Chains A and B, each alone.
Chain A
Amino acid sequence: MIERKLTCIVCPLGCELTVTLEENRVLEVRGNTCKRGEAYAQNECTNPKRTVTSTVLCEDGCTVSVKTDEPIPKEKIFECLEVINSTTARLPIKIGDVIIKNVCGSNIVATQNRSK
């Protein structure tokens, strides 16, 4: 059994979590103040994921802010960014539009409106 200390990133509270692990299996989570914290600790110790936010170049030379609509595996962050950075988006764009489909298991969606 090993203990791992984590800082929960689910919300700005930033709870300090202590996770008890046995061969990559989570036995116990302490220090969390909500259920989301427990789920975070589970994932963080087995398959850590992050929401990625960045910008995509638009056809007129402006940028539009985007995010992955689901968190993606942490080790795929730079792979995801490579796809984002090699894309040019067509205008107009409405908030929530899918800009790129299925990148590292998530869609890249616009988080801003951009008119033509």
Chain B
Amino acid sequence: MRDLVIIGGGPAGMSAAIAARESGIQDILILERDGQLGGILQQCIHNGFGLHMFGEELTGPEYAWKYEKKVNELGIEYKLNTMVLDITEDKIITATNSSDGVFQIKAKAIILAMGCRERSKGALNIAGTRPAGIYSAGTAQKYVNTMGYLPGKNVVILGSGDIGLIMARRMTLEGAKVHAVCELMSYSGGLARNIEQCLNDFNIPLRLEHTVVEIHGKDRLEGVTVARVDQNRKPIPETREYIPCDTLLLSVGLIPENELSKKADIKLSGVTNGAVVDQDRHTSCEGIFACGNVLHVHDLVDFVSKEAEIAGKSAAEYIKSGKKQSFVIPIKADGKIRYSVPQIITEAKDVTVYFRVSDVYKNAKIVITDGNKTVLSKNKAKLAPGEMEKITLKAEQIKSVKELHFCLEV
């Protein structure tokens, strides 16, 4: 029996472990499937991490190192190259690695910190052949940054998420020509700074309301056909255009990796694809917590670390004193607000609710009601799906309500 087992040794797992240790839990084990701690940060060699947490601009590996050092200083135990195969509702973890074989651990509490994975081409349904040369942006990033391979010379990128933008610059710096970044929507899903420093700096065209409609080539990719889309995001045939290229990168979104959560029968949200949690990041399964990109996809690693601290502290509290949920206040999003985390509140304390909107809105008003009267409201000059918003509710505002509605007035 272990006190706390954390699944995943990326930024969320490490930050949760440190917070739990600092809250008095001695017996902690991190299980990590890669050969080193740090998760995806190890391949994110660009800078821009850590401004919120450390007030300085770090690269991904440097940010990871700050946490890895702390994990080592605090003597937190971890197993690398270890794959978790199963977790159960009563918190029995089955894992495997080459030295221990298949083994089981029972834990008093579990923190899920498995991160997310990239949405694949299969999910997109593009017509045409299936030649070599099509990668998710993150796979290409791994090839270029950790293995030293350049996957191709003439590149088209579908999707303008941050990884796609970062890879547009990275491939350019390594001598490839990026012909276009196509984005289905009328706005980029990436950060404004990345449009500026990754595309504009290198004159890479961002084609909004464009998508790839056909893939060409037998063995190796030879080109793609792109087209403009109409208001219903359907390609307009007259706008079809052939672009010769040997590489297509897909940066079309991230999906929380919740296969293990499903095995433990944890209630998941259809919107975030992550667990439904309360303010402590406690899932529907008692003693199992979730944080980081496995819970919902974050814009910045700094926010992942922050959220993981909450999960780490809460798990420590739970291990020390148990937890009784005395009430459940559901938080309902109106659709313009796409989702919130947490989705429920189970304790009358100050709670910061994070949420994301479903479209670009200007001069909007965030209104939080109890179903009838307004609890809190806030004006915002600009809201975008790519940028997580937050609002803090006071304990006394929570005490008097049965439910909370998050609405956007535009």
Contact = CB atoms under 8 A, between A and B. Distances in A.
Q: Do A and B bind each other?
A: yes
Contacts of B173: 52, 54, 77-78, 81
Contacts of A112: 42, 45, 61, 65
A111 B196 contact: no
B390 interface: no
Interface size class of A (residues with CB under 8 A): 20 to 34
Contact of B45 (A7, A10, A54, A61): A54
A9 B165 CA distance: 14
A10 B144 CA distance: 25
Interface of A: 6-14, 16, 50-55, 57, 61-63, 65, 67, 74, 77-78, 81, 95, 111-113
B299 A12 contact: yes
B236 interface: no
Interface stretch (B145-153, B204-212, B345-353, B360-368): B145-153
B193 to A, nearest CB: 4
A11 B193 contact: yes
Contacts of A61: 148
Nearest to B38: A112
A16 B59 contact: no
B59 A11 contact: no
Contacts of A52: 173
Given A7-B193, A11-B51, A13-B193, 16 more contacts: A8-B193, A14-B192, A14-B193, A50-B201, A51-B47, A51-B57, A52-B173, A53-B46, A53-B47, A55-B148, A57-B148, A63-B145, A63-B146, A67-B45, A95-B62, A112-B45
Nearest to B300: A12
Contact of A9 (B62, B144, B196, B300): B196
B59 A111 contact: yes
B70 to A, nearest CB: 14
B157 to A, nearest CB: 19
Nearest to B198: A9
Contacts of A74: 201
Contacts of B155: none
Interface string B132-148: 00000000000011111
B189 to A, nearest CB: 13
Interface in B175-220: 191-193, 195-197, 201
Contact of B148 (A50, A51, A63): A63
A16 to B, nearest CB: 7
Interface of B: 42, 45-48, 51, 57-59, 61-62, 65, 144-148, 173-174, 191-193, 195-197, 201, 299-300
A37 to B, nearest CB: 11
Nearest to B149: A63
B45 A9 contact: no
Given A77-B173, A111-B61, A113-B65, A12 B148 contact: no
A7 B195 contact: yes
Nearest to B43: A65
Contact of A65 (B57, B59, B195, B197): B59
B62 A55 contact: no
Contacts of A8: 193
Contact of A12 (B46, B61, B191): B191
A53 B62 CA distance: 12
27 contacts: A7-B196, A8-B193, A9-B196, A9-B197, A10-B193, A11-B51, A11-B193, A12-B48, A12-B191, A12-B299, A14-B193, A16-B192, A50-B201, A51-B47, A53-B45, A53-B46, A53-B47, A54-B174, A55-B144, A55-B145, A63-B146, A63-B147, A67-B59, A77-B173, A95-B62, A111-B45, A111-B62
Contacts of A55: 45, 144-145, 148
A62 B201 CA distance: 29
Nearest to B190: A14
Contacts of B191: 12, 14
Nearest to A74: B201
A95 B47 CA distance: 14
Contacts of A10: 193
A13 B146 CA distance: 28
A63 B300 CA distance: 25
